[in-house]
Chains A and B, each alone.
Chain A
Amino acid sequence: MSNMTQRFIPNHTPCGQTRREFLWETGGGFAGLALLDLLSADGFFPESKEPSSQNKNQNKYFLASRIPHFPTRAKHVVFLFMNGAPSQIDTFDYKPALSRFDGTAYQGDLTVGSNDRPVGYLMQTPFNFRSQGESGLKISSLYPHLSQYADDLCILRSMHTDTAAHASGCLQMNTGSVLLGKPCLGSWLSYGLGTMNNNLPSFVVMTDPRGGPISGASNWTAGYMPAPYQGTLFRSRGTPILDLATPAPYSPRSQRQALDLLKSLNDQHLRSRQDESELIARINSYELAYRMQTSASEAVNLGRENKSTLDMYGLNNELTVDFGRKCLITRRLLERGVRFVQLYSGGGHIEDTWDGHTDCISNHRLHAGETDQPIAALIADLKRTGLWDETLLIWGGEFGRTPTSEGRGKPGRDHNWYGFTMWLAGAGVKGGQALGATDELGFKAVEDPFHVSDLHATILHLMGLDHTKLTYFYQGLEQKLTGTRGRVITQALA
């Protein structure tokens, strides 16, 4: 049986040699060492042909590039996480029947929240829905910019999840489980596909300036997988990565001198320990860190973007500047080979997120207003650069909101895990359609219900991975992102 402690088995090259043998024989030696990571990242030394239960042959080149289970178009994922749970009723799930019952007490048998909160009174949406594009998809007036791309969206109107609490909801959306300690979607992709670049993290997370999602880093953790599969928190201003900057009072010159000293002493130390690949890997990590100082700072430096691009993303507007900046950086990260970018809209608690308990209407005006133009700009820009053909976009939150208000004259909507909307767009996705449906009131998914695990199976599929085969052996079990559930939403595929 396989297990995690076998990870130090050396990699065998296609010709049956170890990396080191290969390097020596090709005259690599010391000069060749710097190539190690490049070669492994390029897939020259694949861990195994297929990314299934790779930890059997795992070693420390965790992020070596790997061949997907089947050929596919998508190489990148951008997950636009609407933290706090957006209301489907007010965005992408038009429910005209609701206006007939507006203000009446809810008579059904569904309950909300975890502590028997009153379900309240049915409340119609104040936003206008219009048919958009050739497909005629109905999208609310919260999204004037995004509506232009209606024909690219595959709207999933019948999502449902297992919990109505934010923490466990975010965990389930990100890791497939309501329990702590599981690797998240980005980790599974890093594990299954490896990295496509050498100077930046493969899996990047950008949070909202108002704060992170509830339970913070648990949402981008690698769980029981090794640390290289964890998401890297990226800031959209200043130094993007923790401790990336040269610390005061050292100058760039002095920093380089110190690194050179470190390298020379480490090389001396290595001379009598030539076979210790861990020591070599550690030497390389300092050089990569140094390169990252330049490359990551360059990735967030928008100085060379022209004004029309900045305006398109809404950087000239206080409302949209933050999310716009993050969307523009996202495009730059994708260009530089980052695999998975997750952007959070909303952070902290309640009204600072999409969690519109008091006044869902103003809340959504704010949060949709902050994100609509930037998301549309990202789509336009990806189309312009050609990245659109290899990038999968996901939009949604941890669950949805109720078609009811929390009280008369209190236009807040409560948590709804029975039915909510997400959308997919981009590489491999069949746009211009809405799949599944909630009931007449938009409360519960009734037609073709899609569970979060179905979404995960579909995302993996679009990335060329079979969710039943992408496994990681841990605690006596071949673990999967989708557990024992999940089926690919085939109607969503182009």
Chain B
Amino acid sequence: MPERALFGVLLLTSVSYCVLAKAEATDGSEPLGPDDLIQISDRNHWAFQPLSRPELPPVERTSWIRTPIDQFILARLESRRWSPAIPADTNSLLRRIYLDLIGLPPTLQEQRSFLANPSPESVDKVIASLLNRPGYGERWGRHWLDLVRFAETNGYERDGTKPSAWRYRDYVIRAFNEDKPFDRFVVEQLAGDELADTDRETMVATTYYRLGPWDDEPADPQQDRFDQLDDMVRTTSQVFLGLTMGCARCHNHKFEAISMHDYYRMVAIFNTLKRPQSGRTELDVPVGTQQEREELQWRDQLIQKIEMQKQQLIRNRLTTWMEQQPDPSDPDLPTALRTQTGKRTAEQKQLITKYAESALSDKDKKRLSDWDSAIEALRKATEDLPLAYVMQELSPIPPKTHLLMRGRASTPGPVVQAGFPAVLVSRQPTFDTDTEHTSLQRKTLADWIASPSNPLTARVMVNRVWQYHFGEGLVRTPSDFGRAGQPPTHPHLLNWLAHWFVHDANWSLKKLHTLIMASNAYRMNKTGNPEYRADDVENRLLWRFPYRRLDAETLRDSMLAISGKLNRKMYGPSMYPFVPKDARSGHSDPDKIWKAFDEKEASRRTIYSFVKRSLIVPLLEVLDFCDTTQSTEQRLVTSVTPQALILFNGNFVNRQARHLSDRLIDQAGDDAPNQIHLAYQLALCRKPTASETSVLSKFLQRETESLLQESLDIKEAKKRALQQMCRVIFNLNEFAYPD
């Protein structure tokens, strides 16, 4: 890419410096100097082309077609004379759909009612009903949290808690459950505080900006400010646009037509945001509509005035009273009175109350109590607003943003106007700055990203949804749709889906799930024709449904559901699951760092588990939990020994195994085959085979006998043998890798 190299050289020379400076002298809406270096071929990149609705390709085996998706998939397979895998068996399909959509296995009753009539149409009905369950948002909201680097602490030395950050998690779960149109979801997170209909919910959405790590004691505060902005530019460009703009911070992007200038255009958009804080303490702020916030402000000012009157009266009376006393009263009293109301210690307050009793007349006391009633009435009339962890814009005029030479805050270059990556636009937008409170720069950005004509937004999101269903996206670099990313395996399908998503589904994710899951492609089994493996081991043509290990949350939540201990309480502040002392020993505050909740609270779904950057719950961490410091577009799947250790020997799984064995005894009685049968239905959603029943029965018998010899009584021996069996079932490959 010689033109890229040239581009790079140019920008770092004084020549380009002049070009840039000159370009900025124009009004900013004209194409800018460095952008002239963008080639037609850059603009022609596949992902930057407008969405269109390609023709459905012709196929031979039309009986396989259930949705247009099938037609695209089958056409590619038939071009090789390949056939798609046969349909998954009903039990496997049911389990797949449940785990995929709500992250929990079907209950016995759900299995029974489905298996009574397992037609493709009743599968559709199951999908429709699952999409309306609260568990859908808890499962799919978690995917979104991965993308936006969600965590509830800042990392670094103090790893301070981000107050009220959980409200954002709840917002995301609700957005998915309400099927908030994706374009609106984008706009709320990027500019929820700048909308005509801004309210508490849309403001909470902007917590998005503040989720990144934050060093409250940075070595270089100036550089740190740009690190924070970098986090926003990087995350926003990857998550919404599938562009790796972060690479253009210190030099032009090495692979993409993204210049430093483009990078700092985006920096300029976010540079308006301020972090409410008091020293190293982070603040959350009241959120609501403009009117609600103004009323609250007015109320608080009024209350403050009344409080001041109260204090003044008390101070005056006490001062006079002290002068009248023959003996000096308490020596600490004058100091207490001089101390500002908010800064008084508990002792000082007590002292004042004590002496005020004597110093105040009945009339004074009446006045005070009237004032208190007034305050109470004010509080009643205007209720408190929820606090949320958001950034603020304090002025409609954005600060100047400079391009930073080599990305260093100490070497500012020319001033850069807010704008979008030039390769994606024919001209830069004009930013409306004519508001009272904010710059509206982010609103302009959000509208552009969420616009039906943006070539990337819908493509990127459709591909993400595809990836979460199938394990891999149609583009297998889901946050990189640039040249360095991979081209789509099914370009026409991706284009079709994106266009359909915007124009037919009106950005409804639930409609998108429905379409994808109605396809025969989604309902294939995982075996397929083994002969295809040699040519396509990665299953790029989708000749079968791929195997993929359940993620940490689904494993944990499933075990809780199967053991019968899952606490379905939704929303609110996070819970702290048990973390063994040994796992805390690596932390600088091993004793204080993590106060685990009781088992009932800790048995809520994993999405409600507190995400602390310096101490990830080991069960999750070991099972390839996402990176909490940067956007994670896809969880990795590894098979390492610590996983086997934690799943086989760890506290959580063994506890659930004990609960499950109790459940089996309770519901299946004393009969081993019945217990085995129930365990398999619950955990694997199928009957055990005769050989499995026999293997497990023998195990239970042998284990019971051995335990009897180790001098346990028969009841205890049987119970413990059953616990062992449950422990093994939770560790089965089939449990972690559903068919």
Chain A residues engaging chain B, CB cutoff 8 angstroms: 1, 3-6, 8-10, 60, 62, 114-115, 162-168, 178-181, 201, 205, 207, 211-218, 220, 223-224, 226-228, 232-233, 235, 239, 241-247, 249-251, 253-254, 257-259, 261-262, 264-266, 268-270, 272-273, 275-276, 278-279, 281-286, 288-289, 292, 347-349, 417, 475-477, 484
- Residue B710 interfacial (CB < 8 Å): yes
Known: A181-B213, A211-B587. 4 other contacts (CB 8 A): A168-B219, A247-B654, A275-B533, A276-B737
**Smallest beta-carbon distance B525→chain A, Å:** 11
* Inter-chain contact A257/B646, CB cutoff 8 Å: no
- In the assembly, what is the distance between CA of A411 and CA of B217, in Å? 24
Chain B residues within an 8 Å CB radius of A233: 583, 585-586
15 A–B contacts, CB within 8 A, in A order: A1-B483, A3-B484, A167-B157, A168-B219, A212-B587, A216-B586, A218-B155, A227-B621, A232-B642, A235-B582, A241-B642, A243-B646, A262-B732, A269-B733, A348-B590
* Inter-chain contact A224/B637, CB cutoff 8 Å: no
Whether A276 contacts B547 in the complex (CB less than 8 A), given A114-B218, A261-B695, A292-B641, comes out as yes
**Smallest beta-carbon distance B339→chain A, Å:** 26
**Smallest beta-carbon distance B689→chain A, Å:** 8
- Residue B89 interfacial (CB < 8 Å): no
**Smallest beta-carbon distance B309→chain A, Å:** 38
- Residue B706 interfacial (CB < 8 Å): yes
Whether A3 contacts B590 in the complex (CB less than 8 A), given A165-B215, A264-B695, A285-B644, comes out as no
- In the assembly, what is the distance between CA of A205 and CA of B586, in Å? 9
* Inter-chain contact A269/B630, CB cutoff 8 Å: no
* Inter-chain contact B706/A476, CB cutoff 8 Å: no
Whether A1 contacts B629 in the complex (CB less than 8 A), given A167-B157, A254-B703, comes out as no
- In the assembly, what is the distance between CA of A106 and CA of B343, in Å? 36
- Residue B124 interfacial (CB < 8 Å): no
* Inter-chain contact B484/A476, CB cutoff 8 Å: yes
* Inter-chain contact A3/B485, CB cutoff 8 Å: yes
- Residue B477 interfacial (CB < 8 Å): yes
Chain B residues within an 8 Å CB radius of A258: 648, 724, 727-728
* Inter-chain contact A215/B159, CB cutoff 8 Å: yes
Chain B residues within an 8 Å CB radius of A239: 582
Binds A, one of B72-80, B249-257, B425-433: B249-257
* B156-191 interface (Cβ within 8 A of A): 156-157, 159
Point out the residue from B246, B586, B650 that lies within 8 Å of A243, measured CB to CB: B650
* Inter-chain contact B643/A285, CB cutoff 8 Å: yes
Chain A residues within an 8 Å CB radius of B639: 60, 278, 281-282, 284-285
Whether A245 contacts B549 in the complex (CB less than 8 A), given A60-B639, A207-B585, A292-B641, comes out as no
Chain B residues engaging chain A, CB cutoff 8 angstroms: 155-157, 159, 213, 215, 217-220, 227, 234, 238, 244, 246-247, 250, 253-256, 472, 476-480, 482-486, 526-527, 530, 533, 537-538, 547, 549, 580, 582-583, 585-590, 613-616, 618, 621-622, 624, 627-630, 634, 636-646, 648-651, 654, 691-692, 695-696, 699, 702-703, 706-707, 710, 720, 724-725, 727-728, 731-734, 736-737
* Inter-chain contact A1/B157, CB cutoff 8 Å: no
Complex A-B, nearest 10 residue pairs according to Cβ-Cβ distance, in ascending order: A476-B244, A181-B629, A163-B219, A167-B157, A289-B644, A212-B586, A216-B587, A281-B639, A1-B484, A243-B649
* Inter-chain contact A257/B485, CB cutoff 8 Å: no
- In the assembly, what is the distance between CA of A201 and CA of B624, in Å? 17
Whether A62 contacts B627 in the complex (CB less than 8 A), given A258-B724, A258-B727, A476-B244, comes out as no
* Inter-chain contact A247/B649, CB cutoff 8 Å: yes
- In the assembly, what is the distance between CA of A62 and CA of B220, in Å? 37
* Inter-chain contact A247/B217, CB cutoff 8 Å: no
Chain B residues within an 8 Å CB radius of A285: 639-641, 643-644
* Inter-chain contact B649/A224, CB cutoff 8 Å: no
Main secondary structure of the interface of B (DSSP, over half): loop
* Inter-chain contact A207/B586, CB cutoff 8 Å: yes
Whether A477 contacts B244 in the complex (CB less than 8 A), given A167-B156, A178-B219, A245-B649, comes out as yes
* Inter-chain contact B624/A475, CB cutoff 8 Å: no
Chain A residues within an 8 Å CB radius of B238: 475
Chain B residues within an 8 Å CB radius of A211: 585, 587-590
* Inter-chain contact B155/A244, CB cutoff 8 Å: no
* Inter-chain contact A348/B157, CB cutoff 8 Å: no
**Smallest beta-carbon distance A79→chain B, Å:** 15
Chain B residues within an 8 Å CB radius of A213: 588
Chain B residues within an 8 Å CB radius of A273: 526-527, 547
| CB closest residue in chain B, given A182 | B629
Whether A228 contacts B156 in the complex (CB less than 8 A), given A249-B720, A475-B246, comes out as no
Chain A residues within an 8 Å CB radius of B628: 181
Point out the residue from B213, B256, B482, B643 that lies within 8 Å of A179, measured CB to CB: B213
Chain B residues within an 8 Å CB radius of A265: 692, 695, 728, 732
* Inter-chain contact A283/B733, CB cutoff 8 Å: yes
* Inter-chain contact B244/A3, CB cutoff 8 Å: no
**Smallest beta-carbon distance B201→chain A, Å:** 30
| CB closest residue in chain B, given A62 | B638
* Inter-chain contact A227/B614, CB cutoff 8 Å: no
Chain A residues within an 8 Å CB radius of B580: 242-243
- In the assembly, what is the distance between CA of A261 and CA of B255, in Å? 52
* Inter-chain contact B630/A114, CB cutoff 8 Å: no
Which of B234, B527, B641, B702: most chain A Cβ within 10 A? B641
Which of B250, B614, B634, B706: most chain A Cβ within 10 A? B614
* Inter-chain contact A8/B538, CB cutoff 8 Å: yes
* Inter-chain contact A226/B636, CB cutoff 8 Å: yes
Which of B247, B483, B538, B624: most chain A Cβ within 10 A? B538
* Inter-chain contact B627/A181, CB cutoff 8 Å: yes
* Inter-chain contact B637/A278, CB cutoff 8 Å: yes
Chain A residues within an 8 Å CB radius of B618: 242
Whether A286 contacts B644 in the complex (CB less than 8 A), given A1-B485, A9-B538, A228-B638, comes out as yes
* Inter-chain contact B588/A292, CB cutoff 8 Å: no
| CB closest residue in chain B, given A283 | B733
- In the assembly, what is the distance between CA of A306 and CA of B731, in Å? 41
Which of A244, A282, A284, A348: most chain B Cβ within 10 A? A282
* Inter-chain contact B485/A181, CB cutoff 8 Å: no
* Inter-chain contact B629/A242, CB cutoff 8 Å: no
**Smallest beta-carbon distance A9→chain B, Å:** 7
- In the assembly, what is the distance between CA of A285 and CA of B549, in Å? 14
Whether A279 contacts B733 in the complex (CB less than 8 A), given A5-B477, A476-B253, comes out as yes
Point out the residue from B527, B646, B733 that lies within 8 Å of A242, measured CB to CB: B646
Chain B residues within an 8 Å CB radius of A286: 644, 648, 731
* Inter-chain contact A3/B588, CB cutoff 8 Å: no
Chain B residues within an 8 Å CB radius of A262: 648, 728, 731-732
- In the assembly, what is the distance between CA of A448 and CA of B733, in Å? 56
Chain B residues within an 8 Å CB radius of A283: 733
**Smallest beta-carbon distance A184→chain B, Å:** 13
Whether A266 contacts B724 in the complex (CB less than 8 A), given A217-B616, A276-B547, comes out as no
**Smallest beta-carbon distance A418→chain B, Å:** 12
Point out the residue from A247, A250, A259, A266 that lies within 8 Å of B733, measured CB to CB: A266
Point out the residue from B159, B549, B699 that lies within 8 Å of A261, measured CB to CB: B699
Chain A residues within an 8 Å CB radius of B247: 475-477
Chain B residues within an 8 Å CB radius of A114: 217-219
* Inter-chain contact B530/A275, CB cutoff 8 Å: yes
* Inter-chain contact B695/A162, CB cutoff 8 Å: no
* Inter-chain contact A476/B482, CB cutoff 8 Å: yes
Which of A8, A244, A284, A348: most chain B Cβ within 10 A? A8
- In the assembly, what is the distance between CA of A348 and CA of B706, in Å? 46
Chain B residues within an 8 Å CB radius of A245: 649
Chain B residues within an 8 Å CB radius of A10: 537
- In the assembly, what is the distance between CA of A3 and CA of B636, in Å? 13
- In the assembly, what is the distance between CA of A292 and CA of B649, in Å? 13
- In the assembly, what is the distance between CA of A10 and CA of B536, in Å? 11
- In the assembly, what is the distance between CA of A18 and CA of B596, in Å? 47
